[in-house]
Chain A
Amino acid sequence: MNIVVLVKQVPDSGADRNLRSDDNTVDRGSANNVINEMDEYAIEEALKIKEAHGGEVTILTMGPDRATESIRKALSMGPDKAVHVVDDALHGSCAVATSKVLAAALGQLNADLVICGAESTDGRVQVMPHMIAERLGVAALTGARKLTVDGADLTVERQTEEGYEVVTASTPAVVSVWDTINEPRYPSFKGIMAAKKKPVQTLSLGDLGVAPAEVGFDGATSAVVEHSKRPPRSGGEKITDEGEGGVKLVEFLATEKFV
């Protein structure tokens, strides 16, 4: 099975993150840039399918030059190769334009199965799998906490508010996964060394047949008008329980009219 995993480089969600003051885009320069955590689960799932059914796993990333670090990191887990869509004109692209670019790249890769994280930790927009599926005219099985592959037949358990849904489709398809689906492997030393030699193909907008005017700020379908830092919360009263902590807690809740 030919599997493509979408990997996004994002600013580390464990550190301070900012938007740039000049163009309102994510400030990647000052951030510690890492693989979107949820994508590691997508990579793991792809590797498990390859191990059970054979095939090839390709990483697909759209991002600036520095995304190469995340691509090598992804490859060190075990995928075979990577495709990096990189073009200066992509800076400032909205989700709609991004899906156009990724769909164009996927069109060249002939994937049976596209796997991605359910959301990225920076935008948390959660729209990419359905946008891509819509463009490619393939099935989207999203929010999976379990994926079963039987030949061309796919079955997922989709996490919902009330429980889960069992959803089926045939390949080709896009599957997005939550972090409950597996436990991603750590790259081995051998994997890290091997990743350095794995092929990474770069594609420009020209290679994909997408015009620069369709992406970036020019092609954006939405815009950030302004942004500001929310004043940080400050802690209020803190007491140490000396036998009356529970009662005091309820007294506070009562003054706030919660009890």
Chain B
Amino acid sequence: MSEVLVVVEATKEFGVKKVTLEMLTLARELGTPSAVVLGGAGAAEALSAKLGEYGAEKIYAAEGEEIDGYLVAPKATVVAELVKRVQPAAVLLASSQEGKEIAARLAVKLDNGILTDVVGLAADGTATQVAFAGSTIVKSKVTKGLPLVTVRPNSLNPAPAAATPAVEQLTVSVTDADKLAKVVERVAEQKGSRPELTEASVVVSGGRGVGNADNFKLVEEMADLLGGAVGASRAAVDSGYYPHQFQVGQTGKTVSPQLYVALGISGAIQHRAGMQTSKTIVAVNKDAEAPIFELADYGVVGDLFKVVPQAAEEIRKRK
């Protein structure tokens, strides 16, 4: 079977991201998964056990300052060369900002079609995408070149399938044109052990109804009790209650968790665009007419400052 390249997403703090495991699981349906690790020195070594656990038969590694010290372009050059050499059946990347950007450059370099935000990929290359704020399901295909797709996190359940991957270090031949955008500093702004927003199986979000930045502690507490990530509506972000990287909606992140908890969120189209493919939705809002209740599997009309602390207490009791 042909190789399927999976471009690995990982963080220093948490290692291999869940979307990578989803991609490896998906790749096994299409061929033999090979993981591609692009990062700083030693990146592949740290990740190889986890990648093997989910079926990576081989790991290609391109590491070092030449790769990690510049924005995206060197990574695309490395993957393009690899694609030309191994002629894979497909290339999978994460539907993150960086994954899409690497894919964008690959598409131009290889004169190849590209499909983003894919939630399913059949063996014949037919991809499923969800468009227009979750309202439309689209089946599409790359018609020129190989299936080059970016996979949306939380599209499938990762399943382990042990393999023992050999690591092949790639010779990095990055050009000067790839080094035009230099990363001079990386600043971590969020601390703590909460899962990443787009990958979390539970997301607890707060909206304008939370009232101020301090009250977001209530949202965070609920997220921690449920083992989830914290999100925020645009209204909450615009009001300065919570940082922009946690914004869920049309101009923020798209999430598709098992459980989405909306606290003090009215449910404007802008917000629904980012969360309405969630499996189960619950909402607390004082306005009985709030549109969020049209989506919610369970809704509580009431004061979130009474309902949420009581719910938190009840969860603690049951633990």
Chain A positions within 8 Å of B, measured between CB atoms, are: 13-14, 16-19, 37-38, 94-96, 99, 121-131, 133-135, 137-143, 145, 158-170, 173, 178-180, 220-230, 232-241, 244-250, 252-254, 256, 258-259
Contact = CB atoms under 8 A, between A and B. Distances in A.
Interface string B172-214: 0000010011111111111000001110001000000000000
Given A99-B108, A222-B143, A256 B259 contact: yes
B201 to A, nearest CB: 9
Given A165-B186, A221-B143, A256-B259, A19 B105 contact: no
Interface string B158-179: 0000000000000000000100
Contact of B71 (A128, A167, A250): A167
Contacts of B130: 230
B107 A240 contact: no
B41 interface: no
8 contacts: A17-B133, A140-B72, A162-B188, A235-B294, A238-B293, A241-B301, A249-B298, A250-B311
Per DSSP, chain A at the interface is mixed
B85 interface: no
Contact of A245 (B293, B306, B313): B306
B217 interface: no
Contact of B244 (A127, A145, A158, A173): A145
B114 A221 contact: yes
A14 B270 contact: yes
B183 A167 contact: yes
B279 to A, nearest CB: 9
Contact of A158 (B71, B136, B188): B71
B301 A130 contact: no
A162 B12 CA distance: 10
A33 to B, nearest CB: 14
Contact of A230 (B135, B301, B314): B135
Interface in B261-315: 269-270, 273, 276, 280-282, 284, 288, 293-303, 306-315
In this complex, which of A94, A96, A138, A165 has the most chain B Cβ atoms within 10 angstroms of its Cβ?
A96
A189 B183 CA distance: 42
A252 B298 contact: yes
A162 B11 contact: yes
Contact-residue size bin, chain B (C-beta under 8 Å from the other chain): 35 or more
A29 to B, nearest CB: 16
Given A245-B284, A258-B226, 4 more contacts: A161-B197, A221-B114, A224-B139, A241-B301
A139 B181 CA distance: 6
B117 interface: yes
Contact of A246 (B111, B114, B313): B313
Given A167-B71, A222-B143, A259-B315, A247 B310 contact: yes
Contact of B105 (A38, A131, A158, A164): A131
A165 B311 contact: no
Q: Which of A14, A19, A167 has the most chain B CB within a 10 Å cutoff? A: A167
Given A124-B117, A238-B299, A246 B310 contact: yes
Contact of B276 (A162, A233, A245): A233
A126 B254 CA distance: 13
A239 B311 CA distance: 14
Contacts of B180: 138-140, 169-170, 173
Nearest to B145: A221
B300 A245 contact: yes
Nearest to A179: B251
A134 B109 contact: yes
Nearest to A41: B251
A239 B114 CA distance: 45
Contact of B318 (A19, A96, A124, A254): A254
A177 to B, nearest CB: 11
B137 A142 contact: no
Contacts of A254: 318
Given A13-B250, A19-B131, A167-B71, A249 B300 contact: yes
Contact of A249 (B111, B280, B281, B282): B282
Interface string B71-83: 1110010000000
The interface centre, meaning the residue of B244, B250, B300, B309 with most chain A CB atoms within 10 A of its CB, is B300
B112 A221 contact: yes
A112 to B, nearest CB: 14
Q: Which of B250, B269, B308 has the most CB of A within 10 A?
A: B250
A166 B132 CA distance: 32
Contact of B111 (A96, A126, A253): A96
A225 B121 CA distance: 13
A167 to B, nearest CB: 5
B19 to A, nearest CB: 11
Nearest to A238: B299
B245 A159 contact: yes
A236 B185 CA distance: 47
A164 B189 contact: yes
A165 B183 contact: yes
Contact of B141 (A13, A38, A170, A225): A225
B316 to A, nearest CB: 10
Given A222-B140, A256-B259, A258-B226, A233 B295 contact: yes
Contacts of B301: 238-241, 245
